Amino acid sequence: MASAIQARALRRTFGDFEAVAGIDLDVPAGQIYGFLGPNGAGKSTTVKMLCTLLGITSGTATVAGLDVATQPDEIRLCIGVALQDFSIDGKQTGREMLQLQGRLYGLTRHDIAQRMDDVIGLVDIGEAIDNRVESYSGGMKRRLDLAMSLIHRPQVLFLDEPTTGLDPVSRSSVWAEVRRLNCEYGTTIFLTTQYLEEADELADRVGIIANGLIRAEGAPDALKREIGADLIQAEVEGDVAAAADAVRAVDGIDEVQIHHNELAVVTADGAGLIAQVAVALNGCGVPVRSLTLRTPTLDDVYLHVTGSHFAESDEPNEPDPEASS
Amino acid sequence: MTTTTTTTMAPASAPLARRSSRLHDFLTIAGRAIRGTFREPEFFIPALITPVFFYVVNVGALQDFAQGSGAVEDFKAFQLPVAIIFAVTGISRASALVTDIQSGYFDRLLLTPIRRPMLLFGLMAADVVSIIALTIPVILLGLAFGVTFVTGLLGMIVFIMYGALWGLAFAGFPYAIALKTGNPAAVNSSFVLFFPFAFLTTTFLPEEALTGWLQTIAKYNPVTYVLEGLRSLITVGWDWSSLAAGAAASIGLMVVSFGLASLTMKGRIDRN
């Protein structure tokens, strides 16, 4: 299948800071690709390079088969973008913003009228669509921003943290729209997110980025399977290394990872071995605070490839290009 | 005879975006800018108070002196172009441009296929509309004070256009500052440029009545020629040389100011 997005050794620096450190991407047409990483990992910088807003320091990238460096005008006709900070003119009404967006993309009056009917449902703010945007709540602005990015029915849609700040109901409606776009129109969606469940829920494939590098990539289930079938998690007090050694001695344990005062025990048969793990921990004399059995999550994948939990990995925000210029 | 009609259906996923004409791009940006202008009454009111205040105070304080000394025949008519310069100098959508830069909307515009120069030209269209909207009440004030145009209604229209040309020429500076800094305070500070342009010229007395360094500076100040052109429409008639000199002064400044604005726009886009 043709790649809707492809990157080779894509790199971007701001002064001495390397925001994106040479990444490869292959997103087939029609796929939802989840780009998962904590704040400052390089997600937004990558999106800005791919959607022609930010120059590339080195490497190459194509979007919809067009070269980002040499064909930016052509790429802009094919893509829709909803950036992390929703960008809307507060002095205009929601309807005016949508119509204006249609005109910016050269849509005919007929196309605009038709597309307005399609996307107004997503905004879902009733008569407030005719009020000025400055009176909208954060959630309403976010939904309007997303609708604006869809007005011209783009081939490739970049959504940079589209549900940040949304309430659960709005988040569900955005997820439903993302799925619908993908299913009905075959739109390729490049979705950056810092919500694990969002990537898990929506993405056909996930790339985990940390410190400007992709650390793992694959279908969410496949990535989780790489960790193991089951995960026994033990929170202990005292000598965590001794506790780990004791657990490693249990037959059927594939791997034991230590993270602070926590053991992540990977096994193919969690239900069958959890009792033996409890006995082993008890036998080594290390007090156990909690012991849980569950299937691996993307957080476990993240822990596995980066050595820290996702929520602990928030880094300073990616630098603003204006600040460095 | 059998007729076969072939209908080519666009696939459901066919993108609708297409590159528009320059005119379409311009009208799209201009339409938004003009709508935004009229939704900001706070933009117009202070801009109108300044010229009205100066016109009333200058005429009230200096009319007898200026006319009594023989330097000026009709001081009310002499001051009306000054009020126009005060009304239109510095009027621009640069603050709105800064808001767009800060809110990220400018980036959203850059993500569309719109032609980059139209982002400036569209704002200029809104500036022309603002300037005309500010010029008309000032002219009405002058008429209420008894000023008459020897060139008639057509002269008044040219007077407004002439003021608009000057206002537009100066607007390039705040745009350049807005694009360079993205900072509202910096844009507001562009107002300091107004003072040398507006006061180191024939604001209060004609050029021949100025002396020393002020006369020298006034000779190089483009506003001197714009004022002369505007005044000619009120008191002299169709003085083509004065009108041409004033228009050339405005156009010359416009080349400089919008040259700067274009460079800073390019710089802002390229530095990404």
> Model confidence at B72, in pLDDT bands (50, 70, 90)?
confident
Spell out which residues of chain B touch residue A185, defining contact as CB-CB under 8 Å: 12-13
Residue B14's pLDDT is 64
| H or E, element range at A171 | helix A168-185
Residues of A in contact with B119 (CB under 8 A): none
pLDDT at B9 over 50: no
Q: Do B112 and A85 touch (CB under 8 A)?
A: no
Written as one letter, the residue type at B206 is: P
> Once rounded to an integer, what is the mean pLDDT over residues A252-274?
87
- pLDDT, position A313: 58
Tell me the C-alpha distance between A142 and A136, whole Å. Answer: 10
Out of A55, A152, A322, the one facing B15 most closely (by C-beta) is A152
- Give the span between the Cα atoms of B243 and B158, in whole angstroms: 10
Q: Does B10 touch chain A (CB under 8 A)?
A: no
* Mean local confidence (pLDDT), A218-223: 90
List of chain A residues whose C-beta atoms are within 8 Å of the C-beta of residue B36: 89, 91-92
Report the pLDDT value the prediction gives residue B2, as an integer from 0 to 100: 38
Cα distance between residue A149 and residue B17, in whole Å = 12
pLDDT of B90: 84
Q: Angle CA(A251)–CA(A256)–CA(A262) in degrees, nearest 5?
A: 130
Assess whether pLDDT exceeds 50 at residue B4: no
Which residues are CB-contacts of A117 (< 8 A; sequence separation ≥ 6)?
none
Domains in chain A (CATH in brackets) are 3-219 (3.40.50.300), 229-295 (3.30.70.100)
- Give the span between the Cα atoms of B228 and B236, in whole angstroms: 10
Q: Given this model, what pLDDT does residue A324 score?
A: 38
pLDDT band at B125 (very low <50, low <70, confident <90, very high): very high
Residue B228 forms contact with A (CB below 8 Å)? no
The residue type found at A67 is D
Position A232 pLDDT exceeds 70? yes
> Could you tell me if A144 and A68 are in contact, meaning their C-beta atoms sit under 8 angstroms apart?
no
CA distance A79 to chain B (A): 9
Q: Which run of H or E residues covers position A174?
A: helix A168-185
C-alpha B253/C-alpha B267 separation (Å) is 21
One DSSP character per residue, A284-301 reads TT--EEEEEEE---HHHH
Q: Give tens-digit pLDDT for B19-37.
A: 999 999 999 999 999 998 8
Residue A131, judged by CB atoms within 10 A of its CB (0-12, 13-18, 19+), counts as middle
Between chains, do A106 and B15 touch, taking CB under 8 Å as contact?
A: no
User: Which residue intervals of B147-234 are DSSP H helices?
Assistant: 152-181, 184-189, 194-199, 212-220, 222-231
Beta-carbon separation of A79 and B271 below 8 A:
no
**Complex confidence, ipTM:** 0.80
- C-alpha B236/C-alpha B245 separation (Å) is 15
Cβ(A159)–Cβ(A189) below 8 Å: yes
Angle between helices A109-123 and A94-104 (to 10 degrees): 130
Confidence of residue A309 (pLDDT cuts 50, 70, 90): confident
pLDDT value of residue A52: 93
Q: Is the CB of residue B20 less than 8 Å away from at least one CB of chain A? A: yes
Strand A262-267 with A288-294, pairing: unpaired
Of residues A104 and A162, more confidence is placed in A104
Interchain proximity B18–A77, CB inside 8 Å: yes
Q: What's the pLDDT score for residue A312?
A: 60
Give residue-wise pLDDT tens across range A276-302.
999 999 888 889 999 999 888 888 888
Residues A79, A156 contacting (CB under 8 angstroms): yes
User: Considering chain B, what is the average pLDDT of its residues?
Assistant: 87
DSSP annotation of A319 reads P
Q: Which amino acid, residue A97?
A: M
Q: What's the pLDDT band for A323 if we cut at 50, 70, 90?
A: very low
Task: Say if residue B88's pLDDT is above 70.
Answer: yes
**Positive or negative, the Cα torsion across B163, B168, B174, B177?**
negative
Residues of A in contact with B108 (CB under 8 A): 81, 83, 87, 148
Asked if the Cβ–Cβ distance from B32 to A54 is below 8 Å, we say no
What pLDDT is attached to residue A17? Answer: 92
pLDDT, greater one: A6 or A39: A6
Residues of chain B contacting A115 with CB distance shorter than 8 Å: 16
Residue type, A232: I
Task: Say if CB A228 and CB A296 are below 8 A apart.
Answer: yes
The answer, yes or no, to whether residue B227 has pLDDT greater than 90, is yes
Secondary structure letter of residue B9 according to DSSP:
P
Distance from CA of B8 to the nearest CA of A (A): 17
Task: Give the pLDDT of residue B168.
Answer: 93
**In this complex, do A92 and B13 lie within 8 Å of one another by their Cβ atoms?**
no
Per-residue pLDDT reduced to its tens digit, A180-203: 888 988 899 999 988 888 888 899
- Sheet (strand A32-36) strand order: A79-82, A156-160, A188-193, A32-36, A205-210, A213-218
Per-residue pLDDT tens for B172-211? 999 999 999 999 899 888 778 888 888 888 888 888 777 8
Cross-chain CB nearest to A106 (options B18, B110, B182):
B18
Residue by residue, DSSP assigns B15-56 as: -------HHHHHHHHHHHHHHHHHT-HHHHHHHHHHHHHHHH
Q: DSSP assignment, residue A317?
A: P
pLDDT value at residue B113: 93
**DSSP H helices in B39-151:** 41-68, 75-88, 94-103, 105-110, 116-144
pLDDT-derived band at B39 (thresholds 50, 70, 90) equals confident
CB contact under 8 A, B271 and A187: no
Q: What value does the mean pLDDT take over residues B227-252? A: 94
- Cβ distance A103 to B111 less than 8 Å, yes or no, reads no
- Characterise A126 by phi-psi region: left (phi > 0), alpha (psi -120 to 50), beta (else): left
When the pLDDT of each residue in chain A is averaged and rounded to a whole number, the result is 87
pLDDT of residue B3: 39
Q: How confident is the model at residue B272 (pLDDT cuts 50, 70, 90)?
A: low
B153 in contact with A at a CB cutoff of 8 Å?
Answer: no
C-alpha distances in Å from residue A2, one per residue of A8, A26, A77, A186 = 15, 9, 19, 13
Q: What residue in A sits closest to B181 (Cα-Cα)?
A: A322
What is the pLDDT confidence band of residue A1, given thresholds at 50, 70 and 90? low
Instruction: Identify the residue with better confidence: B90 or B56.
Output: B56
pLDDT digits (tens, 9 = 90+) for B248-271: 999 999 999 999 999 999 988 876
Contact residues on chain A for B14, CB-CB shorter than 8 A: 153
Would the CB atoms of A322 and B182 count as touching at under 8 Å?
yes
**Beta strand pairing status for A262-267 and A253-259?**
antiparallel
For chain B, domain boundaries:
22-270
Mean pLDDT of A127-133: 90
Residue in B32, B113, B182 closest to A92 by CB? B32
CA distances for A231 relative to A199, A217, A224, A261, A295, angstroms: 20, 20, 10, 16, 6
Percent of chain B whose pLDDT exceeds 70: 94
Q: Is residue B8 very low, low, confident or very high in pLDDT (cuts 50, 70, 90)?
A: very low
Which uninterrupted H or E stretch holds A169? helix A168-185
**pLDDT classification of A325: cutoffs 50, 70, 90:** very low
Most confident of A234-248, B35-49, B214-228, B244-258: B244-258
* pLDDT mean over A228-252: 89
B102 → chain A, closest CA residue: A87
Alpha helices in A29-86 (DSSP H): 43-50, 72-78
Q: Which two tokens stand for residue A195?
A: 């919500």
CB atoms within 10 A of CB A108: 12
Q: What is the pLDDT of residues B167-180, one digit of tens each?
A: 999 999 999 999 99
A159-to-A313, B93, B160 alpha-carbon distances in Å:
21, 30, 47
Q: Please tell me whether residue A191 adopts helix, strand or coil conformation.
A: strand
